[in-house]
Structure 1
Amino acid sequence: MYETIRYEVAERVARVTLDRPEARNALSDTMIDELLDAFGRAGADDGVRVIVLTGAGDRAFCAGADLGGLGAAQRDGRAMADPDAIRDSAPYRLFTAFPRLGKPIIARLAGHAVAGGLGLAAACDLVVAADDVKLGTPEVNVGLWPMMIMAIINRNVPPKQAFKLYYTGRRVTAAEGREIGLVTDVVPRAELDAAVDGLARTIAAKSPIGLRRGREAFFAIEGRPLEDQVAHLLGELVELAATEDAKEGITAFLEGREPDFTGR
């Protein structure tokens, strides 16, 4: 069905694989369109509770934008003069789609994540990386700056650590990435699949409606005053507590058994 990605569903987990290993899984317009389609499929499928995003091969998770595969207007900068063109551009549509996914998404890094590839990983809710993976924003080395992905990375990394990444363009280890907030877990390469699969199974066993409403609330309160955040979250809690899953979860807890969540 897809040219540049693979999409598979098993055990309530959708696995989306960037499948251009010969190009280090670089992002082209076609790949971005296919990613957005796959995310939409996963979001609409009640049989999917978690999404895992990974890259084919162990050389690169994603090397960022494929300059030869992006639209001409984006390559020569003309899109920057037109706000409508910016919003229609493939990178804009990709990075702004993550808060609306509706389901948890885990990045599995078996290879390096640099430039836009690092932004792609950082946009995921959780990031599990092999211990020999490197991360970086090398744009400054060629006279550029990680403009698009800075909006994503700045939400994960303290300002001074972010500036160090941007100013130096150096690659950091997965362990360093964990220390500064880019990576959730770092595991030996041989244990990567088990770690990702275990995390996905753990999350998939939770209430789908609880995960969705909680994730939506997380993004909805961003940047709002504390009073607004608390008011919004209280309203969300009241509505969530009235769901069948919440009632089942509380009953199961009192009865000492595992809950059987249905997403209602």
Structure 2
Amino acid sequence: MSVTLTQEPDRPHVAHLRLDANELNLLSLELAHDVRDAIESTPAAVSVLTIAASQPDNGVRGLTAGLDLEWARDLTPHEGQDLLVAFYDMIQAIRDLEAVTVCGCGTYTLGVGFELAMACEFRVTTDDATLGLPEVNVGLPTVIHGGLLLRLVGEGIANELIYRGDPIDGARASELGIVTDSVAVDEYTDTMDDLVSDLAVKSPHVLTLQKRVMNRFRSNGLESGMAGSIGDIGRAFGSYDQREAMAAFLEDREPEFEEP
């Protein structure tokens, strides 16, 4: 299969979505649907989801080089709109997921793949990765979730990346705050693993509640989102995980959470 979703046997609250469609994981309508279906099939018990390309044994691969231009260049306006709807639904599925998402950008992530990465909570890449939104250079404007760049870096840098269409490397993306971590190629896998492990030891129940709160901030606006989060946080009190986490902190030990 070109898209797979697996849960870890020892940490079932951690799952991994992997793309292995073609050499560069170029995206088409069908692949966008497959990715969306995989995301939407994520079990409710999963609180941490990684999204990346299947990695070769001898190196690091990029997530996707973006749209398959050979496939897309002769699309009609109607077909183009169908494609954009599919891309919107794919990325929105990530944003609406109640699991915390970690995107492995690898050595390249471009176009709609870069938009997908920006929809995740965390992004990890290599220092020399090729990242960006080159749509303007291939006859298309950057649309839909390209707007997430405004929240990450503000209008000035977003204008530079979108209007010029020039890629940046991972080190520059890290300086700008677009990615969480940018590391040498030989440190990439360990960095991904360490980040996932940091998240995996948190209470799955609390991570899910936190993601729900963050989604409210995004969808309802900050003021109403803050007010609406009271119920979610209130429900955390009295849970086993809340009491265990506080007890472990006070006793200076690692918490032992319930299985999701």
Distance in 2, Cα, partners of 1:171 & 1:162: 12
Aligned twin of 2:42 = 42
Deviation at 1:240, TM superposition (A): 1.6
Quick check: 2:62–2:109 contact (8 Å CA) kept in 1? yes
Distance in 2, Cα, partners of 1:69 & 1:255: 59
Distance in 2, Cα, partners of 1:80 & 1:138: 17
Q: Does 1:133 align with 2:102?
A: no
User: Can you give the 5+ residue segments of structure 2 that lack an aligned partner in the other structure?
Assistant: none
Residue identity matched to 1:49: S
Aligned twin of 2:148 = 152
- Give CA deviations for 1:117-168 in whole Å, capped at 9, x if unaligned: 1111111110011111011111111332111232332232211100000111
Distance in 2, Cα, partners of 1:178 & 1:41: 31
Aligned twin of 2:191 = 195
Distance in 1, Cα, partners of 2:213 & 2:203: 15
Secondary structure, counterpart of 2:7 in structure 1: strand
Quick check: 2:47–2:98 contact (8 Å CA) kept in 1? no
Distance in 2, Cα, partners of 1:122 & 1:153: 7
Quick check: 1:158–1:180 contact (8 Å CA) kept in 2? no
Secondary structure, counterpart of 2:153 in structure 1: coil
Q: Does 1:252 align with 2:248?
A: yes
Secondary structure, counterpart of 2:42 in structure 1: helix
Deviation at 1:185, TM superposition (A): 0.4
Matches within 5 A, 1:199-218: 199-218=195-214
Q: Cα distance 1:78–1:21, how it changes in 2: closer, same or farther (>3 A)? A: closer
Aligned twin of 2:65 = 63
Query: RMSD value over aligned CA atoms?
Result: 2.5
Please report the TM-score for the alignment, with normalisation by the length of structure 1.
Answer: 0.85
Q: Cα distance 1:179–1:249, how it changes in 2: closer, same or farther (>3 A)? A: same
Q: Cα distance 1:152–1:43, how it changes in 2: closer, same or farther (>3 A)? A: farther
Using the aligned pairs only, state the percent identity: 30
Distance in 2, Cα, partners of 1:226 & 1:157: 18
Between 31-40 and 133-142, the greater mean CA deviation after superposition: 31-40
Deviation at 1:173, TM superposition (A): 1.0
Q: Does 1:121 align with 2:117?
A: yes
Matches within 5 A, 1:1-264: 2=1, 4-10=2-8, 11-12=10-11, 13-22=14-23, 24-44=24-44, 46=45, 48-57=46-55, 58=60, 60-67=62-69, 75-78=75-78, 89-222=85-218, 224=220, 226-262=222-258
Q: Cα distance 1:59–1:228, how it changes in 2: closer, same or farther (>3 A)? A: closer
Distance in 2, Cα, partners of 1:239 & 1:156: 30
Deviation at 1:101, TM superposition (A): 1.3
User: Can you give the 5+ residue segments of structure 1 that lack an aligned partner in the other structure?
Assistant: none
Distance in 1, Cα, partners of 2:259 & 2:205: 5
Residue identity matched to 1:62: T
Deviation at 1:41, TM superposition (A): 3.3
Residue identity matched to 1:109: C
Q: Cα distance 1:232–1:177, how it changes in 2: closer, same or farther (>3 A)? A: same
Quick check: 1:110–1:129 contact (8 Å CA) kept in 2? yes
Deviation at 1:77, TM superposition (A): 1.9
Quick check: 1:16–1:54 contact (8 Å CA) kept in 2? yes
Distance in 1, Cα, partners of 2:240 & 2:89: 34
Distance in 2, Cα, partners of 1:56 & 1:242: 41
Q: Cα distance 1:8–1:229, how it changes in 2: closer, same or farther (>3 A)? A: closer
- Give CA deviations for 1:74-115 in whole Å, capped at 9, x if unaligned: x3222678xxx689x321211111222111111112221111
Between 175-184 and 186-195, the greater mean CA deviation after superposition: 175-184
Quick check: 1:207–1:245 contact (8 Å CA) kept in 2? yes
